[in-house]
Amino acid sequence: MHNEGKEVVLVTSGAIAAGIGKLGLKSRPKTIPEKQAAAAVGQGILMHMYEKIFSEYGKVAAQILITKDDISHRTRFLNARNTFFALAEMGAIPIVNENDAIIVDEIKFGDNDTLSATVASFVEADLLILLSDIEGLYDSNPRTNPNAKLIHEVKEITEEIENCAGGAGSSLGTGGMATKISAGRIATAAGVSMVIANGEHENVIRDIVNLKEVGTLFAPNEHPLPLRKHWITFSTDLKGKLVVDDGAFEAIFYNHKSLLPKGLVNVEGFFVTRSNCIY
């Protein structure tokens, strides 16, 4: 696909799993230091595998390790975005993973579904493909209900769609269908189509790109959020609240206007505005 001129970004898991094998551990570590140690060992192994395979096709792989903290800071977010665009211009393929060797709970994405949806949104991708060990989204859990039906297309993520999501995935991974639904919200809000499909099927990616009916397609929003509003909505942490009057609410919510000081009723929380006024 890259040879056909398509720009490709690969978001991967596997650093901790690769480290588990190299260190001879019998199960996934339980403590954060143990997980980080496994990730530190495994990340190099993981990248070596990708570099070896891609080099056989004359492709250059670039490692990018990201934390949620990197994305929540506007300057670092824009720097990361510029790095992806520069790599695309140079013909390299970014291999993205969370920086598990140094991560703490406060600055982690926690799963690669959310990470990949975030990356897809800020590089303005056309399509996000989530490869899993299941065919797609079902109306109930197919592992417990033999009559569960595959949902081929989701036009809008409703409460009913969220209720279809099951629990966690494999013992080595961290995500489940619930995280994929959450990723769908992030991606589709940015105008990115998303497909959940079974990665074990041969040529599954090419079939998806060729518009064959594979897995579950999440249709992009007809009116996607502008990049800055999308970043504010999905990539920043809540620091405080502004309580506004009815007039300000109508102006902001229905007419998409800016908030004027006279519309403020109350301010909650501790944060710094662009004018450096601390609340």
Residues placed in the known binding site: 13, 100, 112, 132-133, 174-180
CA distance 209 to 223: 23
The residue type found at 241 is K
Nearest by Cα to 188 from 222, 213, 158, 153: 222
CA distance 20 to 42: 7
Sign of CA dihedral 245, 246, 251, 254: positive
The answer to whether the CB of 235 falls within 8 A of the CB of 170 is no
The answer to whether the CB of 98 falls within 8 A of the CB of 11 is no
CA distance 279 to 269: 7
Q: Is 63 exposed, middle or buried (0-12, 13-18, 19+ CB in 10 A)?
A: middle
Q: Which residues are annotated as a binding site for substrate?
A: 13, 100, 112
Nearest by Cα to 131 from 112, 148, 108: 112
Task: Count other Cβ atoms within 10 Å, centred on residue 209.
Answer: 17
Between the CA atoms of 185, 190, 193 and 198, what dihedral angle is there, to the nearest 10 degrees?
Answer: -50
Task: Count other Cβ atoms within 10 Å, centred on residue 137.
Answer: 24
Task: Count other Cβ atoms within 10 Å, centred on residue 248.
Answer: 20
The answer to whether the CB of 192 falls within 8 A of the CB of 203 is no
Q: Which residues are annotated as a binding site for ATP?
A: 132-133, 174-180
